[in-house]
Amino acid sequence: MKIKLSTHSRAHNKSNARYLAKGWVNTWMTPADLIKWVTDGKAWSGTHFTSGHRSQDNASGSNCIVFDFDGELQLKDFWATSTAMQWCCLTYTSASSTPAVNRFRAVFPLGGIPLTTAAEHKAIYRFISGKLADELKIEFKDDCGEKAERLWFGNTECETQLNAMAFVPGSIVQAVEVPPEPTYEYSSTTTDLDIRRCMWLLDHHIPPSQDGDYNLTYIPVTAACAAIGDTMVECWVNWVSRGHHGDTPSNLDHQLKWRGLGQRSGPASIFAMAKRVDINWRRALPRELQFSNSQAIFEAFVCGPIACAPKSLFRS
């Protein structure tokens, strides 16, 4: 079968990543075609884009699910599963893969009519990931493949494995339950002083997320910034760019990453993270950002467990 995807020829072996927002070409490829494309070192995405502009809003359906394994298992163990042998059409290793720590992408074509919504794509991703997790007895480190518009880089030095006839049957795809998408609104009660405190804490106090901190740090900070609103975009981008997750361009895209976050978050989540770094964090604030005594009491009450996003957004 042919896979619905978009390609970009400008990036070679992950170069020129900052030029990849526009210029995408919609096409359909067989698994063999896709292997040739990635081994030429070129970039691709598992969806079509309107006007050649890669964004979540411009994504137009999908008929494949992509997994990005970042060292949590060996390639041979992945291919030993019945889920991979029956449904995965190809794998290719990333540039950072080593014999000891395998890093690779796995592509699962979907039979039947292509998916049309982000909710459908996410539901199928989680269905397949559940099947793999049951067989492999592992916890996935990253769930970036939940988004059809995710950018994938090719690699001229990659190792590939083709299983061209494999795909997820359309009858199975259609049977997967797709939960309704929740709706979210920005908080209207956040004060300007709280926003300035959050900015200072991200700039000077809360360390940027590192490898393995996606759920623990990156998602809570992202959800809090999404709840506060657009005034946090520049600060959030600077914070992310200093850490491990800033190496992936899509992690710096607030339009992509903030959607679906923030209903149950806000400054209190950032204050709670600051407290996790240093219990006396309030003393480090500049004088103009200090809390009054009554505010300090309230802060101590609200800065308990971080409530930043629906549980469904986290890997269990």
pLDDT tens profile 71-99: 889 999 999 999 999 999 999 999 899 99
* pLDDT winner (highest mean) among 107-111, 141-145, 233-237: 107-111
Side-chain half-sphere CA neighbours of 298 within 13 A? 8
What distance lies between CA 156 and its chain's CA centroid? 24
- Contact criterion met (CB below 8 Å) for 34 and 3: yes
Which pLDDT band, with edges at 50, 70 and 90, does 7 fall under? very high
pLDDT of the residue at 68: 93
How do residues 268-316 score in pLDDT, each as one tens digit? 999 999 999 999 999 999 999 998 764 544 444 444 444 445 444 444 4
Side-chain half-sphere CA neighbours of 267 within 13 A? 19
Which residues is 45 bridged to in the sheet?
Answer: 6, 151
pLDDT of the residue at 293: 63
Residue 33: CB atoms within 10 A of its CB come to: 14
Which residues is 289 bridged to in the sheet?
Answer: none
Which pLDDT band, with edges at 50, 70 and 90, does 11 fall under? confident
The Cα–Cα gap between 144 and 109 comes to 17
The Cα–Cα gap between 87 and 165 comes to 9
What distance lies between CA 197 and its chain's CA centroid? 27
- Contact criterion met (CB below 8 Å) for 117 and 64: no
How do residues 113-166 score in pLDDT, each as one tens digit? 999 998 899 999 999 999 999 999 887 766 788 889 999 999 999 999 999 999
Residue 24: CB atoms within 10 A of its CB come to: 25
**Angle of helix 192-204 relative to helix 267-277, nearest 10 degrees?**
40
- Contact criterion met (CB below 8 Å) for 178 and 216: no
Please give the average per-residue pLDDT across 197-220, as a whole number.
91
Dihedral pair phi/psi, residue 28, rounded to 5°: -130, 135
The Cα–Cα gap between 123 and 261 comes to 17
